[in-house]
Amino acid sequence: MTAHTGLSLLSFLAVCLIVGGAAFFRGLTGFGYAILSVPFVSLVATPEVAVVMAILMQLIIGPFGIRQAAGVIDIPMVSKIALLACLATPFGLWLLDIVSADVARLIITSIAIGSFFAFMLKRAPEINGSPLHMAIVGIASGLLNGFAAMPGPPVVLHFVRKQVPPPHRAVP
């Protein structure tokens, strides 16, 4: 028995388990759904299915935190990053479409693991709010969103490096 995506019942159940676990983690932390779900779902489905599923899930889940976040975030800065990310996302999807599934899986997993290690590095804070820096953060976020459904790493690194307090970086 297969669904229209070509998944067997066992694969579908594995996807449900992965999505449930990633959603539970996101519920505890306020972030991290895609960084957990996409690499694992792409093992049982195509990377395109995993990425589009994660983007759609984030579109459903995301609005619930907007009202809570609006009171603590720097709206002009976040708006600039978000606009550039939205403009760059289709290019990330295009990149995902032109690479093979195995290469996409390798890159997506590398992004997830590399992001973890990038967060662990101890570096001196860098306060840089230049338009070029903000553009790089927004574009990188959009490319990663389209390619791996993981827009967070460039933005989180930006906020951590600017020493923005945790309540202003993520919504629990």
For residue 121, give both structure tokens.
Answer: 């590095």
Query: Helix 75-98 to helix 131-148 angle, to the nearest 10 degrees?
Result: 40
Question: Quick one: pLDDT at residue 17?
Answer: 95
Rounded Cα–Cα distance for residues 91 and 142 (Å):
8
Question: Quick one: pLDDT at residue 172?
Answer: 38
* 164: DSSP letter: -
For residue 67, give both structure tokens.
Answer: 């009202």
Question: Quick one: pLDDT at residue 27?
Answer: 83
For residue 99, give both structure tokens.
Answer: 């690479």
- C-alpha dihedral sign at 109, 55, 75, 129: positive
Rounded Cα–Cα distance for residues 17 and 103 (Å):
24
Query: Helix 33-44 to helix 9-29 angle, to the nearest 10 degrees?
Result: 170
What H or E segment, with its residue span, contains residue 147?
helix 131-148
* CB 93 within 8 Å of CB 146: yes
The domain segmentation of the chain, as residue ranges, is: 9-168
Question: Quick one: pLDDT at residue 26?
Answer: 85
Backbone angles phi, psi at 8, to 5 degrees: -75, 170
Q: Where are the alpha helices (DSSP H) in 45-100?
A: 47-61, 63-70, 75-98
pLDDT 10s digit of each residue in the chain, 172 long?
445 567 788 988 999 999 999 989 988 887 788 989 999 999 999 999 999 999 998 888 878 777 777 777 778 888 899 999 999 999 999 999 999 999 999 999 999 899 888 878 766 566 667 888 889 999 999 999 999 999 988 988 888 777 766 655 554 3
Tally Cβ neighbours within 10 Å of residue 82. 16
Question: Quick one: pLDDT at residue 171?
Answer: 43
Question: Quick one: pLDDT at residue 149?
Answer: 93
Question: Residue 2's beta-bridge partner residues?
Answer: 8
Question: Quick one: pLDDT at residue 104?
Answer: 94
pTM beyond cutoff 0.85: no
